[in-house]
Amino acid sequence: MAILTDNIKLVIVQALACFDTPSQVAEAVKQEFGVEVSRMQVALYDPTKGTGKNLSAKLRAIFAETRDKFLADVSTIPIAQQAYRLRVLQRTLAKAEKQGNSSMVSQLLEQAAKESGGAFTNRRELTGKGGAPLAVSNVSPEALQAAVTSVRDKF
């Protein structure tokens, strides 16, 4: 096992909090710091997994804070909105650009636009007349039962 400095540990914890896989984190540590780290050693720094149960309170707090910020603020991702999917698309886009694959780049850009535009959600905004909020009325159980009985009797 490689001996890790506090700075490397911090990078590992933050990357794992952003849903990077241990393989991706190990590769990033190797490229950035020149230190060989195994996937198993990286997994020790993920408190959501069984292997990370002995992680220090300080690193657990950093993990939780980073994860909360990542889920709440996706503006750090260049092609931005749906955090994880767009981050994966961004990585793939960078590889396609590096290889000069322009058709893949255009497909990925279209995919990212659909993701950020909400094309893949089934969310609907319901409003009242003229965009006003829907009217909310409280009905007693007795009044509801009377209305249901009335409708049933008609049919």
Return the residue matching tokens 């290889």: 99
Question: Which residues 6+ apart lie within 8 Å of 49 measured at CB?
Answer: 43
Q: What tens digit of pLDDT does each residue of 59-83 get?
A: 999 999 999 988 887 666 554 456 7
Q: What tens digit of pLDDT does each residue of 31-65 get?
A: 999 999 999 999 999 999 988 899 999 999 999 99
Cα separation, 98 vs 102, whole angstroms:
10
Q: How far apart are the first and last CA of the chain?
A: 75
